[in-house]
Copies of this chain bind each other. A is one copy, B any other.
Amino acid sequence: MTTNSACSLIDMETLERIAPIIRHTAHPLRLRILDFLSSQEEPQTVTAIIEACKSPQAIVSQQLRILKDQNVLSARRERNHVKYSVANSNVLLLLDCIRRH
The chain A residues found within 8 Å of chain B, CB to CB, are 4, 6, 8-10, 12, 14-16, 18-20, 22-23, 26-28, 31-32, 35-36, 39-40, 52, 90-91, 93-101
CA distance A16 to B26 in the complex (A): 9
Q: Is the CB of B9 within 8 A of A52?
A: yes
Q: In the assembled complex, which residues on chain B have CB atoms less than 8 Å from the CB atom of A26?
A: 19-20, 22-23, 26
Q: Is the CB of A22 within 8 A of B94?
A: yes
Majority SS at the chain A contact face: helix
Q: How many copies does the complex hold?
A: 2
8 contacts between A and B (CB under 8 A): A9-B35, A10-B95, A10-B98, A15-B28, A18-B97, A19-B31, A20-B26, A94-B94
Q: Is the CB of B14 within 8 A of A101?
A: yes
Contacts known (A26-B19, A101-B18); A12 close to B36, Cβ less than 8 A? no
Distance (whole angstroms) from the CB of A17 to the closest CB of chain B: 8
Q: Is the CB of A16 within 8 A of B39?
A: no
